[in-house]
Amino acid sequence: MASDTQAARIEAVRHFNRFYTRAIGVLREGLLDSAFSLAEARVLYELAHRERPTAGALARDLGLDAGYLSRILRRFERKRLITRKPVASDRRAQSIALAADGRAAFRVIDARSRNEVRALLTPLPDAAQATLIGSMSAIERTLSEPDARPSIVLRTHRPGDFGWIVQRHGELYALEYGWDERFEGLVAQIVATIVASFDPRRERCWIAEIDGQRAGSVCLVRKSAAVAQLRLLLVEPAARGVGLGHRLVDECTAFARAAGYRTITLWTQRNLVAARRIYAAAGYELVASESHARFGHALVGETWELSLK
């Protein structure tokens, strides 16, 4: 069964690669209707954004074979796109820079690339664009070396955060699940109730930040003297896959214990698979369910509880 799952995942990645290379046009003989291959265009980009790198540094950072890169650079030199000069500290190495013709060639490719990306994004609504960019960031972060992954900062709420919580719940759940504005209205009501009677001794709202940008949220509020309620768990698409949801739920558990609660309860939906997995991993148990259509779809609401005894 495990091998079947792995095979399916491998095929899913290969399918995405085929789709994306077609979408961005890298299979064309000349990238962006130019005379340059994808690798050549990438070398031009690096030379345009770096201060006289050596061929060795380019090969290492781009993951290119040294011989292949050498052939690219010789072609550039024949076309007078680059200049080279010895490195003072190592006479065997040469630093490389774009010549005037090279800078002109890069400007053409760069402008065409921006126009193609603009054409790809423009038909999409803002929320879809944000999800697309967030998903790209998630892929990059997941495939990066562990020490290259951004640090996550959890902080308490401040002015502007609750408005963001309402907006992002409305946008993301509409985009990902098709829920209508009644869900956003419910979130606004929950936020209004929290703000009106917030007790910092027994209630807490956390905002997660990655690189200074909001990436998630959760609130723990008083339901009764012995019961706390977990509300408004949200993880941005760009921040998924790094354990942020688990951290937010764990913060709620630790705070609830310290505040003297005996139980944490929450309400979620059966189709929110990722959230349900987080709750189950934290020790929550499903205690009740009911069918409803509050957000424009046939849903099954679920109540989960965590005993803190």
Query: Which residues, including other chains, have CB under 8 Å from residue 64's CB and lie 6 or more apart?
Result: 39, 43, 58
Same domain, 152 and 300: yes
Which of 57, 90, 123 terminates a domain? The answer is 123
Residues 97 and 195 both lie in one domain? no
Average pLDDT value over all residues in the chain: 89
Is 270 part of any domain? yes
Total number of domains constituting the chain: 2
d(CA 155, CA 158): 9
CATH number at residue 299: 3.40.630.30
For residue 81, pLDDT over 90 is answered with yes
User: Considering the domain boundaries, does residue 70 fall inside one?
Assistant: yes
Task: Answer yes or no: is pLDDT of 268 > 90.
Answer: yes
Closest CA to 98 of 116, 115, 110: 110
Q: What is the per-residue pLDDT across 234-251, written as a single tens digit (0 to 9) for each?
A: 999 888 888 899 999 999
Whether residue 119 is found in the same domain as residue 152: no
What secondary structure letter does DSSP report for 158?
-
Phi and psi dihedrals of 76, rounded to 5?
-60, -40
Comparison of pLDDT for 133 and 266, the residue scoring more: 266
Report the pLDDT value the prediction gives residue 20, as an integer from 0 to 100.
Answer: 83
pLDDT tier at 31, thresholds 50, 70, 90: low
Q: How confident is the model at residue 256 (pLDDT cuts 50, 70, 90)?
A: very high
From 153, 299, 290, select the one nearest 214 (Cα to Cα): 153
- Evaluate if residue 32 carries a pLDDT over 80: no
pLDDT band at 19 (very low <50, low <70, confident <90, very high): confident
Same domain for 45 and 88, yes or no, is yes
Residues 57 and 159 both lie in one domain: no
Residues 225 and 291 both lie in one domain:
yes
What pLDDT sits at residue 210? 85
Does 128 fall in a domain?
no
What's residue 265's pLDDT? 98
Domain C-terminal end among 106, 123, 140? 123
Give the mean model confidence (pLDDT) for residues 157-183: 94
Across the chain, the runs of DSSP E, i.e. the strands, are 82-87, 90-98, 152-156, 204-210, 213-222, 227-235, 263-269, 285-292, 299-307
- CA nearest 26: which of 104, 113, 118? 113
Q: Which residues contact 98 (CB under 8 A, 6 or more apart)?
A: 44, 47, 48, 81, 82, 83, 106
**pLDDT value, residue 292:** 95
Please check whether residue 130 lies inside any domain of the structure. Answer: no
pLDDT of residue 274: 92
Same-domain status, 166 and 296: yes
pLDDT at 154 exceeding the cut of 70: yes
* Judgement on whether residues 29 and 98 belong to the same structural domain of the protein: yes
Q: Does position 260 have pLDDT exceeding 60, yes or no?
A: yes
- In this prediction, residue 2 carries a pLDDT of 59
How many Cβ atoms sit within 10 Å of the Cβ of residue 117?
11
On whether residue 112 sits in a domain, the answer given is yes
Q: What mean pLDDT is predicted for residues 126-133?
A: 79
- 41 versus 300: the higher-pLDDT residue is 300
Does residue 137 sit within a domain? no
Based on the domain organization, do 165 and 273 belong to the same domain?
yes
| pLDDT for position 74 | 92
Instruction: Give the per-residue pLDDT at 28.
Output: 66
Using CA atoms in the order 233, 234, 235, 241, what is the torsion angle rounded to 10 degrees? Answer: 40
Range ranked top by mean pLDDT from 12-21, 64-73, 78-87, 155-164: 155-164
Are both 264 and 154 inside the same structural domain? yes
Q: Is residue 134 part of a domain?
A: no
Q: Is the pLDDT of residue 10 over 60?
A: yes
Q: 70: domain CATH number? A: 1.10.10.10
| Amino acid 41: pLDDT | 87
b/e per residue 66-99 (b: at least 16 CB within 10 A): eeebeebbeebeeeebbbbeeeeeeeeebbbbbb
Distance CA 279, CA 71 (A): 55
Q: In terms of C-beta density within 10 A (0-12 exposed, 13-18 middle, 19 or more buried), how is residue 278 classed?
A: buried
Range of the domain at 41: 2-123
Domain presence at residue 143: no
Residues 262 and 193 in one domain: yes
pLDDT of residue 27: 65
